[in-house]
Structure 1
Amino acid sequence: MPTENAMDAALGALRQAMAGLENAIDLRFEAQREGQEVEGEVRRVHADRARLAQELDESEFRANRLEEVNREVSRRLVTAMETIRAVLDR
């Protein structure tokens, strides 16, 4: 009987160790899956950032171009007003 008790105790310890190992493996797989999800989210954030940076650059270019056009229109209006004043003063 003592041998059977020792064997039962050893089998119980082995079962416990196996259950602990299975839990550790499950936790590792879960952590790895979560890590992959985080990496995917980081990639999406970087892609969004790059897209937004490009859109910002394009918007700044358009704003600068509009500012240049506005200055040119203002210059032409001043020239036209001066020409009209000159014609009216004659």
Structure 2
Amino acid sequence: MMPTGKTVDAALDGLRQAIAALDNAVDMRFERERERGEMDGEVRRIHTDRSRLAQELDQAEFRANRLEEVNREVSRRLVTAMETIRAVLDR
């Protein structure tokens, strides 16, 4: 049988180890929650960037389509002007 002093010391050592393990677990949990919060923030920033980029792409596509329409109109007018000039020169 163990003397009472050693039993109490062993129990206190076990309690200290359990408290240290609990402190470790709490610290790890806080760290995971902090990292999760950082990841959530990063995901929100990525979604915001994606939305902004999608909007910018839509605007760029609209401008490209508009430029294409203007280009066709300018080309049509140049052809008309060249035909008019040829007609005048052929007279």
Shorter chain as normaliser: what TM range? over 0.9
Using the aligned pairs only, state the percent identity.
76
Distance 1:14 1:80 in 2: 97
Unaligned runs of 5+ in 2: none
Aligned-residue RMSD, C-alpha? 1.1
Correspondence for 1:67: 68
Distance 1:46 1:71 in 2: 37
Structure 1 residue 56, shift from structure 2 partner: 0.7
Deviations 1:38-58 (A, max 9, x none): 111111111111111111110
Structure 1 residue 73, shift from structure 2 partner: 0.3
Amino acid of the structure 1 residue aligned with 2:84: T
Distance 1:55 1:18 in 2: 55
Unaligned runs of 5+ in 1: none
Correspondence for 1:5: 6
Correspondence for 1:42: 43
After alignment, is 14-23 or 80-89 more displaced?
80-89
Q: Does 1:57 align with 2:54?
A: no
Structure 1 residue 31, shift from structure 2 partner: 0.7
Structure 1 residue 2, shift from structure 2 partner: 1.0
After TM superposition, where is structure 1 displaced by more than 3 Å over at least 4 residues in a row?
none
Q: How many equivalent pairs are there?
A: 90
3-state SS, counterpart of residue 78 of structure 2: helix
Deviations 1:21-71 (A, max 9, x none): 000000000011001101111111111111111111100110110000000
Distance 2:5 2:44 in 1: 58
